Amino acid sequence: MKSEKEKMLAGEPFDAHGEEMIGIRTKVKHILHKLNVTEYYTDKFEDTINELCPNSAKNIHLEPPFYCDYGENIFAGDGVFINFGAVILDGAKVTIGRKTLIAPGVHIYTARHPLNIKDRRVWEDVRPVTIGEECWIGGHATICPGVTIGDRSVIGAGSVVTKDIPADCLAVGNPARVVKQLNQKD
């Protein structure tokens, strides 16, 4: 029989509110406290980032305050910069390509909840999010579960990304839509 964490990682419906999952998130909240409050100005700050996000490159930068559910499901590449106030609900894998810049207040969600109230009372599920290399995610943008954003794309401030965005595009709005091709050769 699978644990709730095993179900979550397999993308199956799971109980996020049981003792096992609350225990895992509570441990992460202690690490987040160190990151956001006690170690920002110390030589332990980078070690705390690596403790929180062990599957990310060693040279990512998280500007506090930063919030996530698990940390271990964040796979950020070399040179990723995440500005203050970011929230990543990482029940599923969140991949952030190298040199991607994430502005203040960006929210990235993998968690989905059933529309039916009876189901919503007992389970949720998750879908991975992938953000390509050298992207720019504008302030207070929201990236929804299951979305892929292609390399070098830009998401405008305040946009809500509900569907995949191809590489080399500017997408804006709610819901976000592609309004311009970028990086085209003359």
Active-site residue set: 113
Which helix H or strand E contains 160, and what residues bound it?
Answer: strand 160-161
Gyration radius (Cα) of the chain, Å: 17
- Interhelix angle 45-52/19-33, nearest 10 degrees: 160
Task: Determine the Cα–Cα distance for residues 31 and 39; give it in Å rounded to an integer.
Answer: 10
Q: What sections of 10-75 are H helices per DSSP?
A: 19-33, 45-52
Q: Are strands 154-155 and 136-137 parallel, antiparallel or unpaired?
A: parallel
